[in-house]
Every structure is written in C-alpha cells, then in structure tokens.
Amino acid sequence: MQSALILCICVGVFVGASAVEADPPNALGKITENGTSTDITNTPEVETAVEYSREKRAAEKPKKGTAKDKQPDMGRTLAAWVELNSILKMRGDISGKLSTVLHKLGHEKSRLLDQANEPAKKKKEEDDEDDDEEEDDDEEEEEEGEEEEGGEGGEGGEEGGEEEGGEEEENEGGEEEQVEEEENEAAGNSTAELLPEGCQVNETEISCAEAGIAELPIINDLNITTLDLAGNNFTTLPSEAFSGMPNLEVINLSRNFLDDSSISPDFFKNLTNLKVLTLDGNGLETIPQLPGSLEELKINDNKINQVLSHNLEGLTNLLHLELAGNILWEGSVEPLAFQHLPTLKHLRLDNNRFTSIPNGLPASLEDLSMPHNQLVEVQENVLMNSAHLRALDLSHNLLSDTSFFPGAWIDLPKLETLDLSHNQLYVVPAHLPRVLRQLSLQHNFIQSIPPDTLSHLRPGLQSLHLSHNQLLEHGMLGKAFRGAYKTLEELHLDNNRLERVPPNIRYFRNLHQLRLDHNLISVVPVKSVCKISLTNASPLLALHLENNYLDVNRIPRKALSCIPELQRIILEPQNHNEIVLFEVKGFLTLKENLGILLFNQRSERMCLYSVSISVMFSYFSLLLLLSVFSLASLSMALPFEQRGFWDFVMDGEGDGLTVMMRDEEEGSAVLPTFLPPIEIPMCPFGCQCHLKVVQCSDLGLVSVPENIPTDTKLLDLQNNHITELKENDFKGLSNLYALSLVNNKISKVHPKAFIPLKHLQKLYFSKNLLTAVPKNLPSSLVELRIHDNRIKKVSAGTFSGLGSMNCIELGGNPIQNSGFEPGAFNGLKLNYLRISEAKLTGVPKELPDSLHELHLDHNQIQAIELEDLRRYKQLYRLGLGFNKIRNIESDSLSYLPNLRELHLENNQLTRVPKGLADMKYLQVIYLHSNNITQVNVDDFCPRSYHMKKSFYNGISLYGNPVQYWEVQPATFRCVTDRLAIHFGNYKK
C-alpha cells in the first residue's frame, strides 16, 4: 500500500504541475493495491507534497510570453521530487520498493528533460533566420522576463541576463550532467537500501554469500555484472528476479535448495550477457535452459541423471562444463549431447556412475576429468575424435590391466598428461599415448614395469609417479625405463617394497627429483646413483632416502659423490624403530644368528637391536624388531668400553630380556637385564604385510591365517587350499576393503563369517566349490565375483540388504533358468551382471531393471522373445554371443532405447535382426559367424537421416555366407567410417 501511495505522489509531481495545481485530490484519486480501493488524498503526506509543489510553482512561475512557459520546468519538478524524498526519509518510510520507484522516476525525469530541450533547440534555429532588429527585440524581451524571474538579481541582473543569454546551451548541458550524476547516486543508494542484511554492494557486484536469505528484492541496476548468492536458503527463483539487472555476467547460486521446479524455463535464457553460472550443491535433476553467451557452467553435486541433446543446444561459446557429483552414466548421456559445444575445452564428470567414457565427446576438448567413477574399461574408439585432448584424469576407478584397448589413445596427438592413480593395476599399462609427458600411477598394486613400455614415447616422459605400489627391484630391471633415460625429470618410487636403490638410476641424464623414501632400503650400491667413471655432476636437485633402514654413516662415499650439494640429499629419519619381517631357516648357533641379523645396521653410537627368537638352535623363524635405546634406559653398567655395536635377543617365553653384547673386535658377552616384554605387531606366518596390504597367496594354506593386522585394507588369500570359512576367521577386520579368495577349495561358509567386515566393498570368490551364494554378505558390498563355482540355485532374498551392489559376476556356474527363484534379485540396483558360460536356455526373468550391462554369452539360448527384454530400458550393452539363437522376435529390441553395443556373434541367425534401424544410439553390433545370407539396404540405418542420433563405428559381418559386393553401399549410410565395416571372407 505504501509503495502504491508513493507511486501516485511521484507521478503527480513528474507528469506536470497542471494536474496537481488544478485539483490535487482528483489528480491522485483512489489507488488499488491487492484488489482494495483506498482513498489516499486525505493523507498528510499527499497534502504536504502537493502544497509544497503549488507554492514552488507560484513563486517561480515565469510571466506569459517568455520562452520558458512553453516547456515543463524540470528544475522545479526535481526540487519537488527531492523534497518528497526528504519528507519520507524523515518519517522513516523509505523502503526498497520506494527506492525502486524513485529510481524509475529518475529515468523518466531524464527523458522529460530531453523532451524539454527540443523546443528550445527548434526556437534557436528559428531565431537565427530572423533579421537583426527582430533578434534584438527578442533579446530585450527575454532579458526583462529573466529579470522578473530572477527576483533578487540586484544590480548585476542586466549583465547577468546578457551573459546567460550567450551561454544558454552550455548551462543546459551542465544541468543534464548534474541530473545524470544525481540519478547514478540515487541508483546506487537505492540498490544498497534494497538489499537484505548481510549483503554488500559495490559499483558492479552484489554479494549476499552465506547471508541466510531465502529471497531477493527486485533490483533495477544496469551497472551490476556480478551476483553472488551462494550458501543461502533459496527454494525458488521468480521469473522477474533478475530482470532489473540485464547486464549480469556472473551468477553464483551454489549451495541453495533449488530444484527443477524452482527455475522457470526462460529464467537464465533471457540474461543474454551471462558468461559464468554456478549451480553447485542444489537438487537439480536436469540442466536448465541457458543463454548462448555462457562460457562457464558448473552444476556439480546435484541430482542430474541425464544429459539430453537439447539441454546443451545453442551453447556455442561454452568453454568449461562441470557435472561432477551427479547420477550420470554413459547410457544417460545422449551421444550427440556434447556435439552442441564446438568450443568446449574442459569437461568434469567426477564422482558419477560411469563404467566407460561416454561417446560423442566434442572434438575441441582439451581436458577430461572422470575420477571417482566406476570405470572398468577404455574403449577403442571412444577418444577417436579427441585430437585436441591434452589431459585425461581417470583416477579413483576400477581400471585393471585388461581395461585398455590397444588403440584407445596411443595415437592421440596432444595427450600429454594421464592420471591412472588409485585403480587396480598390477603392471604399467602398455600402448600409452605417444606424446605422453606426465604419467601418474600411484596407489595401485603395480609390481613391475614391463620392458620397453615407455620406449615408444616421443619426445619422452618427463614425470612418472609410482608411489604407493608394490614395486620390487627385479620389477624395474633391464629395459623398464628405456625411452625415458634422456627426458625423465621426476621419478617417485616412494612407499614401495624396494630393498636397495635400483642400479639403473645412474642412467637418467636429466632426473631432477628422485623419491625413494618409505621403502625397505638398507643398501645404496656404489654404482646405483652415480657413474663412478664420470666426473660430471648429477642433475639431481632432490634425493629422498628417508624412512628406510639405512645406516647413514655406512653409505659408501662414492655412491652419492656426484651430487654436489649435500642439502639435496634427505637421509633422516630412518626406521630403526619399526618392524622388519624376514625368515631364517637352519641349525645355527646364537652367535651365528646374531651375525645374520645385523642387516648392516652399523653406527658409531651404541644401538641395541631386539630379536624375538621362537626356537633357538633349531628350524625357526626370526622376527627382528629394530629399536634404538639410550644407555640410560638400560640402567646398567657396561662390562667394557663400547667400540662397535650391540645386539640383544628377547626370549619370547620369559619375562625379561637377555642382552647379547657383541664387539666387532673383541668378541661377545652376555648380560641379563629386566626390561618388560615388548608387544610386537604380527604378520601371519609366511605372508607379506606392507601398507595395509596382506598378501598370503600361493602358500598352500588350508585355513585363513591368524594374526592378520586389524588395519588391513586388502587381504589376498588366492591360490591356496582353504576349504572352509569359519565364524571368527575375519574377526576384527572391520577396515577391510577388498578380500580375494580366488582359486581355493571353499565349499562351506559359516553364516556369520562376513559379519565383522562392515566396510568390505569387493569380494572375489571365483574358482571355488560353492553350491550357493553365501548368506549374510556385508551390506557395504559393491562388487561380487563368484564365477566358476558349482552354484545351481539363487534363492529368493539372497541379495536382500545389498543396496550398494552394482556388479555381480555369476558366470561359469551350472545354473539353469529354473535355478533363479522369483525375487532372487529383489532390492538390487545393479549396473553390471554377467551369467556367461552357464546352462541358460533363455533370458532369465526379473533381473534388475537398473542394468546397464547384461552378458549372457556362451549359453544355450535359442530365441529372444518379445517379453525377454521389456524391462531393461537402461541397458546399453547386451552380450548374447556364442549361443544357439535362430530367431529374434520382431520389436523385441525396441524395448532397449539406449542400447549402444549388441553382441550376437556365433549364433544361428539367418538374417539381420529386425529393428536395428530404429535404435537411435546403437553404435556397435557383432553379427559375425552366423548363417546370414542377405543384407538389405534398410537393415541398419533408418530412412530419415535425423532419426539416427549416433552413427555406427563398428559392424562385423564376417563369417557369414554373404559377399560384400552383394550389399548395396547405401546400406551403411549411417556408419562413421567404412573401415568400421568388417566383412572378411566366408569359408564353407
């Protein structure tokens, strides 16, 4: 009501004095707000404003006949407006809406000023055409009028009038500048007054970040280009919310409560100057319509579950797109979606559900980031068009040694940076991109670098990170680094299992940084780092050897003599307080044992080394606990002067220690002491424990070993003879992430065996003797591989409570269709299911409808019926190869709208299945080794060019009784490259 009242007052003042002077109450009349008619003419505010305006005009009204009585007196109107503003401020009635009204009226005043100047200019042109006499008369008349109007002009009025007449145009210009300054000041003040508490404004930016607001008043300010509303409580954005700021270039709406219903379709599209939009941390499920001016878009941490072609249409200027932390997978991204982004350079798809890189990436892409997904492969053609790709991040995924197709990226001309860290690699991958300069492989299970893996790289690798793996010295010998000796500048081998400095380090010519810390190194060979025959200084700027088992005083001087500055070498601290596991077998005397247990740990100061010996003078294992003790801690007198080093053995069965003091020159002596027993963390006998990984494979174990460290993350028990899992076998292993029981003889699993494994995500149970899926699997389980067992039945409820599971491998079991009870897969949201090499005669019923991949190869399936595939609308890869399929019922494939890859090779088909031409996204189809005798022109491609959303990049037809010259060329009109069509030769 208040804003409507002020609007009427201001309109009465600005439109002209006549309406107000004639009849102020009638001029303002009644206004309506919210549907209610209210008489505002009797309010004190109106009477005050109108009376002020009337008095001003009566006092300053020029005489008739002057030039100024023909144009609105905007100076007096401005005074009335300012006075009205002052009155309302005194009453405390200035509000955001009033300021907006006054701001709009300021623009209206400027327009009226321009309109008022037009008659004056026209009058001046007419005066120039009159004769001199008429011009003098007009000037005299004008001077008289100005004297009367000036009132208190005094004696200088005559001269002032003459000067005024000569500079009329200049004064008008000055008045316009003054008005413009007043308008800008009023606009700035009104914007600041409109903003809620917690907001700040400067000339071009409004910041309301973390202000706790849920709405923003309408702001009319053409100067604002940046708006920061991050971290607030917005649940909706009215269509007119930003309409008064059409020049916005940067908007940050991250961390609010916006969803698809919160934003009208054209909300952002009308902001034609917008360049940067951030919508992170909301609840959006689809990408809103956006203006073509956009250059950077961030919609991370939302609920985006699909990227359709029209979502990104028109964004021809987009350079940077971030869609991390959503619910995307390769089947939810239309192949042509990114083709609307011809200038896109940076794409972030982190933390989604991709199992492979999506197709249809823009050719302009330079940086692709996909860590924290579920990638299991890098397909051969997926990066085929990414000629400008420079950096690829595939870290924190499920990539293994077999995940990379040979031609996946080897020929990409600009790919220089590749991150494969935090995956499941055991060797450095082959077929790396030829121009690769930086390779990150840390946090894998890499044990070796195959020979010549890096030899094809040109100009050569500069940075190689292999930290936190399982590298041994023999895994890096020979030609492991061939091709990188001249170019490598940075090599990280820390946190591995090296026992000595690799001897081939000396061949690197430009190596600046070498990290060998946190290994098991006790020896630095003389020729490992420096070439003794050469006098050239090493290029090394930093050599890290700390946290090993070195006696720094016994490192040969020549070993590091080529490094000119000692500060480049980091040697301290060393691990004399940690545990080293090793085994010594034989009938040895105590003195002989101590000689073996020295490990070259020599020191000029006195050091004591504790050794726990379970059986002395027999066939035994030794546990060496390297500890540094001070003389004071022993509280004992030395029997003679210490000149060498000291050893002591700990009797594990006693309550104290027996110290054996051995002098390098004079022999040895025994001294009893009374130190308390020391608890020593154990590693299972025969196993290897390192970096929370316990490897007990290939040991001939018949049961799960005891004394497994409770902080173990990966437990490897494969290739043993374990027959049973008992209730307490995994007690205390609540931190276990992955458990491998592959290739044992397990036939019995206690119902409570897996209960302690509260964080287990990967369970590998293949190649055992199980007849059923174990019960009570951990609810945290993500991946279960239980192929090649003797499972014949999957009961209802077997997988209940496993809501996190996305991958099950059941192949190689003698299970038939009848072996799947109704409800067997209830509650699962699987992405991947393989039941290959079983005894299926048809597609199993009621599999999870969330499946992205279904592999039923190598079974006895004879036909695909209409209902078999109806529920799998998200399926993008289907494997039906190596079956006995003769017939695929018409329209059965139409239920798979997102299918990308179809395997039907090695079946008994006599024709190309119907419906392939209607599959918009199908890219690869295997039909080789069937009985197909004819290929029709419309078997693969639709007649309408626009119906096919994604062209084929692979069609295999070889091994069929059809010749390529019998097939019309137009048959493959929707194939990207003719080389993608494989006919081969048919042999009867």
Q: What is the pLDDT of residue 628?
A: 30
Quote the percentage of the chain above a pLDDT of 70: 69
**Angle between helix 132-150 and 157-166 (nearest 10):** 120
Q: Is pLDDT above 50 for 599? A: no
* Long-range Cβ contacts of 658-661 (<8 Å, 24+ apart): 659/608, 659/634, 660/590, 660/594
Q: Is pLDDT above 60 for 618? A: no
Cα torsion 785, 787, 789, 793 to 10°: value is 90
694's enclosing H/E stretch is: strand 693-695
Scanning 804-890, the segments in alpha helix (DSSP H) are: none
Q: What DSSP designation does 357 have?
A: P
Distance CA(8)–CA(29), nearest Å, equals 9
Q: If you average pLDDT over residues 106-129, what whole number do you get?
A: 63
The mean pLDDT of the chain is 76
Per-residue model confidence as pLDDT tens digits over 292-318: 999 999 999 999 999 988 899 999 999
Q: What is the pLDDT of residue 480?
A: 86
Distance CA(514)–CA(516), nearest Å, equals 6
Q: What is the pLDDT of residue 270?
A: 85
What Rg do the C-alpha atoms of the chain give, in angstroms?
42
Token duo for residue 336: 């042509």
Token duo for residue 623: 């546990």
Per-residue model confidence as pLDDT tens digits over 690-722: 778 899 999 999 999 998 999 999 999 999 999
Q: If you average pLDDT over residues 193-200, what whole number do you get?
A: 89
Q: What is the pLDDT of residue 291?
A: 94
Distance CA(424)–CA(807), nearest Å, equals 16
- Contact 432/408 with Cβ under 8 angstroms? no
* pLDDT range class, residue 343, cuts 50, 70, 90: very high
- Contact 300/328 with Cβ under 8 angstroms? no
Q: What is the pLDDT of residue 312?
A: 92
Domain ranges of the chain: 1-61+69-119+172-194, 579-673
Per-residue model confidence as pLDDT tens digits over 139-168: 555 544 444 444 444 444 444 444 444 444
Q: What is the pLDDT of residue 692?
A: 85
Hey, is 952 helix, strand or coil? strand
> Per mean pLDDT, which range of 170-174, 339-343, 665-669, 866-870 is the poorest?
665-669
Hey, is 464 helix, strand or coil? strand
Q: What is the pLDDT of residue 652?
A: 34
Distance CA(476)–CA(74), nearest Å, equals 88
Residue 707: partners with Cβ closer than 8 Å, 6 or more residues away: 682, 683, 684
Q: What is the pLDDT of residue 402?
A: 85
Q: If you average pLDDT over residues 834-862, what whole number do you get?
A: 94
Q: If you average pLDDT over residues 391-403, what whole number do you get?
A: 93
- Contact 739/757 with Cβ under 8 angstroms? yes
Between 229 and 637, residue with greater pLDDT: 229
- Contact 584/620 with Cβ under 8 angstroms? yes
Which range, 117-131, 528-542, 746-760, has the best average confidence (pLDDT)?
Answer: 746-760
Per-residue model confidence as pLDDT tens digits over 815-846: 999 999 999 999 898 999 999 999 999 999 98
Q: If you average pLDDT over residues 946-957, what whole number do you get?
A: 80
Between 738 and 594, residue with greater pLDDT: 738
* pLDDT range class, residue 20, cuts 50, 70, 90: very low
Per-residue model confidence as pLDDT tens digits over 438-488: 999 999 999 989 888 899 998 999 999 999 999 988 888 768 899 899 999
- Closest by Cα among 375, 421, 373 to 402: 375
Quote the percentage of the chain above a pLDDT of 90: 45
Distance CA(281)–CA(739), nearest Å, equals 35
Q: b/e per residue, 559-580, with b = 16+ CB within 10 A?
A: bbebbeeeebbebeebbeeeee
Distance CA(490)–CA(172), nearest Å, equals 72
Residue 645: partners with Cβ closer than 8 Å, 6 or more residues away: 598, 601, 602, 603, 606, 607, 662, 664
Q: What is the pLDDT of residue 681?
A: 57
Token match 């295997």: residue? 926
Distance CA(351)–CA(326), nearest Å, equals 7
Per-residue model confidence as pLDDT tens digits over 492-513: 999 999 999 988 888 898 999 9
Per-residue model confidence as pLDDT tens digits over 382-392: 898 899 999 99
Q: If you average pLDDT over residues 800-829, what whole number do you get?
A: 92
> Per mean pLDDT, which range of 74-83, 172-181, 783-792 is the poorest?
74-83
Distance CA(12)–CA(858), nearest Å, equals 88
Q: Is pLDDT above 90 for 79? A: no
Residue 935: partners with Cβ closer than 8 Å, 6 or more residues away: 912, 957, 962, 966, 967, 971
Hey, is 649 helix, strand or coil? strand
Please give the C-alpha separations between residue 65 and each of 70, 146, 390, 594, in angstroms, as whole numbers.
9, 11, 79, 125
Q: C-alpha angle 322/208/222, rounded to 5°?
A: 90
